[in-house]
Amino acid sequence: MRKTEITGMFFYNHSGLHPDPIDYSELLRFSFTFQNVTEAFTYSDFIWNEKNILKKIEENNFERIIIAGLMPGTVKALFSKAMAVAGKDPEKVMLASFNDYCSGSIFKTEGLKKVLASMISGIPYEFTGIPDELPVNKATLVIGGGISGIQAALEIAYSNNPVYLVEKSGTIGGKMATFDKTFPTLDCAACILTPKMVEVNQHPDIRLMSYSEIKEVAGKPGDFIVKVLKKARKVNVQTCIGCGTCAEKCPAQAPSEFDAGTCMRKAIYIPFPQAVPNKYLVDSENCIYLKNGKCKACVKACPVPGCIDLDEKDSEVTINVGNIILATGYKPFNALRMAQFGYGQFPNVLNSLEFERLLNASGPTGGNIHMRSQDKKGNWIFNTTTPRPEKLAIIHCVGSRDKNFNKYCSRVCCMYSLKFAHLIMEKLPEAEIFEYFIDMRSFGKGYEEFYERIRQEEVSIIRGKTAKVEQRGEKLFLRGEDILRGEILENTVDMVILSVGLEAGEDALKLAKMLNITTNADGWFDEAHYNLDPTGTCRGGIYLAGTCQGPKDIPDCVAQGSAAAARVIQSILKGRLRDDVSSVSLDRVEYKIMELSTVPI
């Protein structure tokens, strides 16, 4: 029987976190309450090397060792070796990893004790820490109308259950809708996304709430009460026919968010021609009437009486749902933070989202690449009157893999940069293209093949990142080390594209607080279990999909969107769902351990 095995506890309190969030002294005390734990040590007690550990094993005749802490696997091989040398079973080295099982929230001592108790008793926490099941409301809330949210919403709707899809902006589609082509197959993003958007709009089980935000979440898993703020669109969604007469007459302009600021839109606008819902909305900040009470040009122009109501106020709706799927996506890294690349300073230094719009057939230049220029009012925009660039540089890892900005890799930039190179070649066959990269991360299905293909095309792919961009006359000057050729590469180009990384959305922290879930240091939502439950959270009935959990590409987002839906449909079919992980008390875990110890599992 496992319980009688003499166990040595080793607390690996060497996480590198300052201050260490874990109360090791209390855990040490707690582990001694188990009679099979005869000794317990921390990393600071003695030098953890083979000799000392072997001595401890032999002195105490440990039959089993538990290493507990953050990333205890770091030292596992040392213990396995010591056990093997001592002539014992190296497989008896167990890890009580505090990174698993809802990492962020479990740093509380109570939660860690639950894990420890299970581990020491030899019964996996997976069996002891199971929360109660609660009845579930069949309706589901999906927050975020990007590709992940769309996928999750459709998936649930296919099972004939109601879905509320709440989207912050005026249209669903998210970032993907702004892209021209997708890597590596180069099929056009709109061609594959717009049918799904249309389907969302047409599906009888999906209630689309665009231009709305989550204000408050109350209730418990299976029965959440959510307050949704419906921002005043000032255009009646039911009666608007999307004719665009209002926008024609509107005298106020603002940079178009959908076009990443590469062109101007009116104060009454539709984000893009294929927007869903295909209805106009008013940008209150730039509307002249809302600023100084005079204008109403749109109201006069509108052919539908009463459709535009500039005095409409924000309203609030309360909905009851059983499950919530978070698909809030990402925001691009703000390239202004990296002053050395001159973004915002030199007009022809672009970030990748701007360049996507430039490439897009429905973008400001109809898919032609032109230099940025100033319009009459001084706005920096793109149009087709300016010359086309002849030399372009693409800089990878802008804001990513950098301790000064974001330490993590943004996962998609390498591939979209390669895609850019290809599309530039296609549109400007005479152009010279330079790509500066560190490591080429073309890891997905068909990605390596795509990289190979771009290498065969006449693109200079240079290992070695540039340090800065300088403006020299009309041109941009870059200096870099071509590592593979062992030379300094000095280039004068017309346009520089910064492959900016992905960052957690600005509402992520707010939402995390509202939903009582955790994020990691970078602001990405924490999953329930890194490997086994990448779409769950430690709260019952709340799931993650897409880039709000961490950067990922479209197929991975879609897979996650569907995966998040799996749990939702499952709970509806069963009629019950699991409560929060934290709802299980230590007593419950201990009781469960006792119960399971007596029956074989």
* Strand ranges of the sheet holding 223-230, from the earlier edge strand across to the other edge: 212-220, 223-230, 315-321
Retrieve residue 225's tokens: 């009460």
Please state the φ and ψ torsions of residue 7, each to the nearest 5 degrees.
Answer: -115, 135
Q: How far apart are the C-alpha atoms of 262 and 280, rounded to whole Å?
A: 20
Retrieve residue 169's tokens: 């902006």
Q: How far apart are the C-alpha atoms of 304 and 236, rounded to whole Å?
A: 10
| CB closer to another protein out of 174 and 551 | 551
| CB closer to another protein out of 292 and 531 | 531
Picking from 387, 358, 365, 533, the residue whose alpha carbon sits closest to that of residue 474 is: 387
Q: How far apart are the C-alpha atoms of 265 and 244, rounded to whole Å?
A: 12
Is residue 407 a contact point for another protein (CB under 8 A)?
A: yes
Q: Which of 57, 116, 193, 290 contacts another protein by CB under 8 A?
A: 193
Retrieve residue 390's tokens: 């002849």
Answer yes or no: are the C-beta atoms of 515 and 137 closer than 8 Å: no
Nearest distance from residue 292's CB to another protein, in Å? Answer: 34
Q: Which of residues 295-354 bind another protein (CB under 8 A)?
A: 340
Q: Which of residues 436-455 bind another protein (CB under 8 A)?
A: 438-449, 452
Is residue 549 a contact point for another protein (CB under 8 A)?
A: yes
x/- map, 69-108, another protein, by CB under 8 A: --xxxxxxxx-xxxxxx----xx-xxx-x-xx--------
Identity of the amino acid at 532: L
Stretch that binds another protein, among 347-355, 373-381, 382-390, 544-552 (CB under 8 A): 544-552
Stretch that binds another protein, among 185-193, 323-331, 376-384, 504-512 (CB under 8 A): 185-193
**Could you tell me whether strands 475-482 and 466-472 are parallel, antiparallel, or unpaired per DSSP bridges?**
antiparallel
| CB closer to another protein out of 94 and 112 | 94
Retrieve residue 176's tokens: 């993907």
Retrieve residue 593's tokens: 């351990």
Please report the DSSP string for 142-170 in residue order. EE--SHHHHHHHHHHHHTT--EEEE-SSS
Nearest distance from residue 325's CB to another protein, in Å? Answer: 11
Answer yes or no: are the C-beta atoms of 497 and 355 closer than 8 Å: yes
Nearest distance from residue 196's CB to another protein, in Å? Answer: 7
Nearest distance from residue 443's CB to another protein, in Å? Answer: 5
Nearest distance from residue 339's CB to another protein, in Å? Answer: 11
Identity of the amino acid at 31: S
| CB closer to another protein out of 260 and 338 | 338
Q: Which of residues 45-74 bind another protein (CB under 8 A)?
A: 49, 71-74
Is residue 17 a contact point for another protein (CB under 8 A)?
A: no
Nearest distance from residue 594's CB to another protein, in Å? Answer: 18
Q: Which of residues 135-154 bind another protein (CB under 8 A)?
A: 147, 151
Secondary structure string (H, E, C) spanning 375-433? CCCCCEEECCCCCCCCEEEEEEEECCCCCCCCCCCCCCHHHHHHHHHHHHHHHCCCCEE
**Could you tell me whether strands 502-504 and 330-332 are parallel, antiparallel, or unpaired per DSSP bridges?**
antiparallel
| CB closer to another protein out of 310 and 505 | 505
Identity of the amino acid at 575: G
| CB closer to another protein out of 5 and 312 | 5
Is residue 278 a contact point for another protein (CB under 8 A)?
A: yes
Is residue 411 a contact point for another protein (CB under 8 A)?
A: yes
Stretch that binds another protein, among 223-231, 301-309, 533-541, 581-589 (CB under 8 A): 533-541
Q: How far apart are the C-alpha atoms of 307 and 234, rounded to whole Å?
A: 8
Nearest distance from residue 290's CB to another protein, in Å? Answer: 28
Alpha carbons within 13 angstroms on the beta-carbon side of residue 374 total 5
Stretch that binds another protein, among 37-45, 124-132, 251-259, 582-590 (CB under 8 A): 124-132
Nearest distance from residue 204's CB to another protein, in Å? Answer: 12
Is residue 558 a contact point for another protein (CB under 8 A)?
A: yes
Is residue 402 a contact point for another protein (CB under 8 A)?
A: yes
Is residue 291 a contact point for another protein (CB under 8 A)?
A: no
Is residue 595 a contact point for another protein (CB under 8 A)?
A: no
Q: Please work out the total of residues on this chain that contact another protein, with binding judged by CB under 8 A.
A: 129
Picking from 451, 450, 261, the residue whose alpha carbon sits closest to that of residue 356 is: 261
Nearest-10 Cα torsion for 105, 110, 113, 115? -30
Residue keyed to tokens 């032999």: 58
Nearest distance from residue 195's CB to another protein, in Å? Answer: 5
Q: Which of 59, 132, 187, 390 contacts another protein by CB under 8 A?
A: 187
Q: Which of residues 473-502 bind another protein (CB under 8 A)?
A: 479-481, 483-484, 486-488
Q: Which of 218, 361, 509, 594 contacts another protein by CB under 8 A?
A: 361
Q: Which of 31, 105, 121, 560 contacts another protein by CB under 8 A?
A: 560
Stretch that binds another protein, among 33-41, 105-113, 360-368, 371-379 (CB under 8 A): 360-368
Please report the DSSP string for 233-277 in residue order. --B-TTT-----HHHHH---EEE-TTTTTSSEEESEE-SSTT-SS
Q: How far apart are the C-alpha atoms of 411 and 440, rounded to whole Å?
A: 10
Stretch that binds another protein, among 1-9, 31-39, 180-188, 249-257 (CB under 8 A): 180-188
Nearest distance from residue 433's CB to another protein, in Å? Answer: 17
